[in-house]
Amino acid sequence: MSEKKPVSLIVSDVDNTISDYFNNWGLAWDKGIEKLAESRGMEKDKLYEDIRNNAGGYARFHNFPDLLKETPSLSLEGKSAEERARLEKNDAKICHEVAKQYHEGNTMYEGVIATIRKAKAMGAQFVLYSDSPASGLIARMADMQFPLDLVDGVVCRADSTTEEVDGKIQFKKAPMQVTGGCFSGYRDALVEKLGDKLVMNAGDVWKPNMEVMQGIMDRHGATPDQTVMVGDNIKSDGGVVRLGCHFAWQKEGSEVCPEAQTMYSKINEMTDYKIGAQAHLDMLDKMSKADPALGRQYQEKMVTLEGGFKDLNKYYRFQSAERAKAQAKAMEATNTAVQAAVVARRVGGR
């Protein structure tokens, strides 16, 4: 193995990087959708089709109860008072069971906390960067009880609503929608700790976004060569190689069980979008063929964490940004001295 790269800033995705999302979400949602289909006396795949065609992305991927409002075949309109009452009670039970299974499944991968603590002890900073809206992200952090002392910054999308302007749908930021029980307390503690290091982007800002990534490095005083992005998605997370950042592919997080893959294929309207480790590798191959220069950047800057998040220790040496700057300055001084000595010998030899 080559020499470890010095890193002072770890920027990490959350879902499928520090914790399992796809499998946990997929299995919980699939079970709930099966029960909803039974309650309406319809085929499960027909309900999936109705959800895919009518429910918004936030409902499909983040807020199960919204499916009841946005899916026509689940509507209670036209039902008798008795039938409506029965279905409302049953729907509430299903939603509760889905939420319970989902929240209990929000657990971290092995070695995540120990690896971050080691990096922090050596002076590195740790920032979470997710495409998830704030409400979902912070609720999952609360579920995991992710230690706030390890977090130096959080970047996510703002909770949002949409409105139609001149015939076009536009995103509007909404208040942070993290409520209830431990979520609110955790949210308040996180907001107080981070201050302006908690950044919520507009709802239509997605990875890979070089301006957002550059902003993270600027706020935390790191250069691209001192920064590693950790994520499960080679295209969106790995896009940071365009800036010269390191990219650590969390392969463990890209592995998706067959049941969740099947569920995802039924609920996602982008039929050509695939999940799973091989799908990510296929995407890398496709991108590299289309843009050889980008392919070379991936070859130079990407490593694969075969053993999960904890494998960061195999490839990177953690240190503070201040130490990195001091080392760079010392190296520059050494190079200058060497160059001066070479010039002096040449002049003296004439």
Q: Both tokens of residue 2? A: 């080559």
Q: Both tokens of residue 175? A: 């208040």
CA distance 124 to 317: 10
- Candidates 251, 225, 241, 245; CA nearest to 298 is 241
CA distance 192 to 2: 41
What's the confidence (pLDDT) of residue 336? 59
Beta-strand relationship, 9-12 and 125-133:
parallel
What's the confidence (pLDDT) of residue 214? 97
- Candidates 228, 150, 163, 225; CA nearest to 194 is 150
Angle between helices 181-194 and 134-144 (to 10 degrees): 100
Q: Both tokens of residue 331? A: 């190296």
Tens digit of each residue's pLDDT, the chain (350 residues): 578 999 999 999 999 999 999 899 999 999 999 999 999 999 999 999 999 999 988 888 888 999 999 999 999 999 999 999 999 999 999 999 999 999 999 999 999 999 999 999 999 999 999 998 888 899 899 999 999 999 999 999 888 655 556 666 555 554 555 555 567 888 889 999 999 999 988 777 899 999 999 999 999 999 999 999 999 999 999 999 999 999 999 999 999 999 999 999 899 887 667 788 999 999 999 999 999 999 999 999 999 999 999 999 999 999 997 876 666 565 555 555 556 555 556 666 55
What's the confidence (pLDDT) of residue 160? 65
Q: Both tokens of residue 291? A: 């843009």
Distances (CA, A) of 47 to 51, 89, 102, 159: 6, 19, 20, 27
- For the beta carbon of residue 186, count every other beta carbon within 10 angstroms: 20
Amino acid of residue 314: K
CA distance 277 to 273: 13
**CB proximity list for 77: less than 8 A, separation 6 or greater:** none
What's the confidence (pLDDT) of residue 49? 95
Amino acid of residue 201: N
Q: Both tokens of residue 276? A: 């799973």
Q: Both tokens of residue 215? A: 């902003």
> Is 190:154 a contact under the CB 8 Å cutoff?
yes
SS3 170: strand
Radius of gyration of the chain (CA): 24
> Is 11:124 a contact under the CB 8 Å cutoff?
no
> Is 118:1 a contact under the CB 8 Å cutoff?
no
CA distance 140 to 252: 19
Q: What is the pTM of this model?
A: 0.84
What's the confidence (pLDDT) of residue 296? 97
SS3 126: strand
Torsions phi, psi for 10 (to 5 deg):
-105, 120
CA distance 38 to 34: 6
CA distance 277 to 234: 9
